Amino acid sequence: MTIILNTIEEKSVLEQISNLIQDNEREIVNTSDMKIAHCVGCNQCWLKTPGVCAIKDDYESILKKLVKADNLWLVSDTRFGFLDYKGKRIMDRIMPMLNMTIGFRDGWMRHELRYHALNIGLLYKGNAEQTMMEDWCKRTAANIGGHSLGAIPLTDTTDTTPTTLNSKLSTLNTQLSHLVIINGSPRVAKFSNTDKIIHSFAKGLEEAGVTWELHNLSNRKEWDAAREAFINNERTLMAFPLYVECVPGLMLEFLETLPTEHKQPKELSFLLHGGMDEGNEFRLCERFLQGLPAQLGCSYGGTLIHGGSFRIRTAPADQVAKIVTPYIEMGLLFAQKGNFLSPEAARFTGMEQYPWLIRKMVSMLFLKKVNGEFERFAKDWGCTRPLGDKPYSE
């Protein structure tokens, strides 16, 4: 069975979909007619009601179709050279198809599958960067145990401007005195791992005498102030968690509201973190971020990358401190340099992939402990089902 999730409203796209995907057993779902919210990272689909999303909107009907499908085609418009927020939002909500427990698959650390493998393809409109779209498809499909069906551009003559995937590197040589920090996590600030990382990072800024202000995108009421701060200050740092191989859909929606021309030079830097430990996990998103500032009329101040943050939510306080404390040093570094373009910032990521022997050891010792930690956390949340439950049987 092939499910086609179409996020584009234009009727002409439907004809192209029909011509391009000629599977006899296919179903096209037009999501622009549906009520679908952003994933807010609440983790209930993993730890409280395994496999069932806490957001009660039209996505549940999609999940019920996905558990019966072998192939998923996403049809999406693009922005900043990548999926637009409507397309990304659909994929961010796919989490109930996975289980929170982790293991190694094909040599990489990944979540275990709740159901079966799903192959993923992309039909996209606009002038996105082809290799980026192909790579995102490959990575996303691998996360859900399947393979890529390919990334195919739809015929689209409205916009032919090439998307720049390289921004000018840091152009500001003024001393950093104040930093605007935007938390791009969709999870409420109180529970956001990014928030804890930011506060540790900011200790380093404060030690160096740099002032800072924080705006959270999880609260839409803060969007106007975040935009104003971005417009009125030289340097902005966007800190956020990796969501399905790239920027969370919610953050993409905010980015679409930012102006792209400025009176004064402006610089954007990024702090990117995520659940998995391996540096390679973040490289596609990093590529996206390298091109993003140019499209917002800014120069690029680099990206600080580090994994292993998903346990901040569930681990005991001493271990949380171990995860977030190294960011103080990075705050100091940023205060000195004004950006993350230094070799010290690059080294902060750590290893790209666990070597074979370490993978074996991590599987045997560490992952058992971590997966047990999830079980205990779920119990505390009142979860009465096994974490690997399949509420919409295959």
C-alpha 72/C-alpha 49 separation (Å) is: 24
Q: Which is nearer to ligand FMN, 242 or 292 (CB)?
A: 242
Report which of 312, 291, 313 is spatially closest to residue 303, judged by C-alpha positions.
291
Exactly one of 81, 275, 279, 302 binds ligand FMN (CB under 6 A); that residue is 275
Report which of 347, 341, 348 is spatially closest to residue 170, judged by C-alpha positions.
341
- The residue type found at 147 is H
- The residue type found at 20 is L
- Inter-residue contact 76 to 125 (CB < 8 Å): yes
Residue 201 C-beta: closest distance to ligand FMN, Å: 13
Count of residues of this chain found to bind ligand FMN when the rule CB under 6 A is applied: 22
Can residue 276 be called a binding residue for ligand FMN (CB under 6 A)? yes
- Interface characters, 199-228, with ligand FMN (x: CB under 6 A): ------------------------------
Q: DSSP character for 175?
A: P
Q: Which is nearer to ligand FMN, 73 or 136 (CB)?
A: 136
Can residue 48 be called a binding residue for ligand FMN (CB under 6 A)? no
C-alpha 17/C-alpha 9 separation (Å) is: 13
- The residue type found at 245 is E
Residue 12 C-beta: closest distance to ligand FMN, Å: 31
Can residue 245 be called a binding residue for ligand FMN (CB under 6 A)? yes
- Interface characters, 311-350, with ligand FMN (x: CB under 6 A): -x--------------------------------------
Residue 104: beta bridge partners? Answer: 109
Q: Where are the beta strands (DSSP E) in 299-370?
A: 299-306
Grouping H, G, I as helix, E, B as strand and the rest as coil, residue 98 is: strand
Can residue 244 be called a binding residue for ligand FMN (CB under 6 A)? yes
Helices 193-207, 317-324: crossing angle, 10 deg rounding: 60
Can residue 241 be called a binding residue for ligand FMN (CB under 6 A)? yes
Site for ligand FMN in 94-133 (CB under 6 A): 95
**For ligand FMN, which stretch binds (CB under 6 A), given 113-121, 164-172, 223-231, 275-283?**
275-283
Q: DSSP character for 365?
A: I
Q: DSSP character for 366?
A: I
**For ligand FMN, which stretch binds (CB under 6 A), given 120-128, 147-155, 203-211, 238-246?**
238-246
C-alpha 183/C-alpha 348 separation (Å) is: 20
Can residue 309 be called a binding residue for ligand FMN (CB under 6 A)? yes
Exactly one of 243, 270, 340, 374 binds ligand FMN (CB under 6 A); that residue is 243
Can residue 151 be called a binding residue for ligand FMN (CB under 6 A)? no
Exactly one of 129, 234, 253, 281 binds ligand FMN (CB under 6 A); that residue is 281
C-alpha 123/C-alpha 22 separation (Å) is: 13
Residue 160 C-beta: closest distance to ligand FMN, Å: 31
Rounded to an integer, what is the distance from CA 176 to the centroid of its chain?
28
**For ligand FMN, which stretch binds (CB under 6 A), given 10-18, 58-66, 161-169, 307-315?**
307-315
Which tokens in the block code for residue 282? 């973040």
Residue 340 C-beta: closest distance to ligand FMN, Å: 18
Grouping H, G, I as helix, E, B as strand and the rest as coil, residue 29 is: strand
Site for ligand FMN in 255-274 (CB under 6 A): 274
Q: Which is nearer to ligand FMN, 195 or 267 (CB)?
A: 195
- The residue type found at 186 is P
Can residue 62 be called a binding residue for ligand FMN (CB under 6 A)? no
Can residue 39 be called a binding residue for ligand FMN (CB under 6 A)? yes
The size of the chain, in residues, is: 394
- Inter-residue contact 109 to 277 (CB < 8 Å): yes
Residue with tokens 């681990």: 315
* Helix or strand holding residue 82 (H, E): strand 82-83
Report which of 7, 3, 2 is spatially closest to residue 154, judged by C-alpha positions.
7
Residue 174 C-beta: closest distance to ligand FMN, Å: 30
Q: Which is nearer to ligand FMN, 208 or 315 (CB)?
A: 315
Can residue 187 be called a binding residue for ligand FMN (CB under 6 A)? yes
Residues that bind ligand FMN (CB under 6 A): 39, 41, 92, 95, 185, 187, 192-194, 241-245, 274-276, 281, 307, 309-310, 312
